[in-house]
Each structure stands twice: as structure tokens, then as C-alpha cells.
Structure 1
Amino acid sequence: MNIAPTPFIPGEYIVKHVENSWEQRGCLALRRAVFCAEQQVFEDDDRDAIDEQAISIAAIACVAGMAEDVVGTVRIHRASDDGLWYGSRLAVHAH
């Protein structure tokens, strides 16, 4: 009898400003997976001029309390001095 393994579901997630290079790489990879591969909104890369000033936020799945994998991301930025912040490039892992 073959029993398929149950997919791992993290018991903990953290949401934080991106501070480390692996977090930034994970955010950009997730954005490419969603906007380029899955939705085909962009060809090879979804980055634009807003990325130069934006702050990336990541949702990170944890294993045994340790940050493991970026599973969600959004970038935020101020478009002007009106005090308003805008969010864009919201991407979430399919699983």
C-alpha cells in the first residue's frame, strides 16, 4: 500500500521588512514566479524604477522556529510627500 506523504505545512510565519540578501532573493524569485511564469504579465523580470525606492516586506515560513522560505511578498513606497504609502507587486506562494 502506497501512501503519499502529506505536504509539510509550517506552523509559524513571520512578516517583516526584508533585511537579508536571502530574503530579498526570495522575494524577487517569488515575484518572478507569480508575475512572469504564472500570470505572464512580464516576460523575464517584473522589476521597475519603483524597486529603487520601495521597501520590501516578506512573509516567511518557519521550521522549528527558524526562518526557512519566503512565501509572500509586497513592496511599499511613498509616491510623494503627501504621507501616503502604496503597496504593489503583492505575490503569494501557491501552496
Structure 2
Amino acid sequence: MEALARLGVAPTVTLIDYRSDQPFTDLAEACDFWMEYMGLQGEEPRAFLRTFLAGRLVRDGDEWIAPYPKRAAVIWWRVGASFSSSPLPLTLPSPPGGGG
């Protein structure tokens, strides 16, 4: 944002909080998903993961939810009159060789 300000651009920033939660039907499905995602194998990593997920996931009715709160930024600015006073050419120049 500082770089834009140095160029004389005054952006408007709107922060948007949203969720991108991952639902699972049960703890076993959550373990299967994360074992595959992280490339883990064996009972020891699965037992650790099961304990971790049991404390991390949130119950919502019959589902287990992995909560993922996120934040996005929408950044915009108005283009000044000096930019709009230089219209683009209405026709493009012909390519070399006379085509077009």
C-alpha cells in the first residue's frame, strides 16, 4: 500500500472476513482425508492425528467441521482525469508487410 501511496494513488481497501470450513461426516473420514493429504501411513501417525483432530474439529449436528476463518482484501482506486484525457487510438496500425 505504501508503494501505491508514493505513486500518488489513494486506494480504498475493504477487508472481508469469511469462512472456508471443511466438513466431515465423522472423525474417521477426517483422519482419512488428512492422512492422504499429508502422505502419512501407519497406525502411530493416525492415532496422533485422531487425538489432534478430536480436539481441533468442531461438532455441528452430525458433522465434524474443520474451521478455516479467512480474510480477503478488495483494493480499488479511481483513475484520475489525467489518465482519461489520453484516449486510446481508434484504429490499430497495420502490421509490417502490409497485412490487415
- TM-score range relative to shorter protein: under 0.3
Over alpha carbons, which structure has the higher Rg?
A: 2
More helix by share: 2
Normalising by structure 2, we get a TM-score of 0.25
Larger strand proportion, structure 1 or 2?
A: 1
More RCO (CA 8 Å, sep 6+): 2
Q: TM-score, with normalisation over the residues of structure 1?
A: 0.25
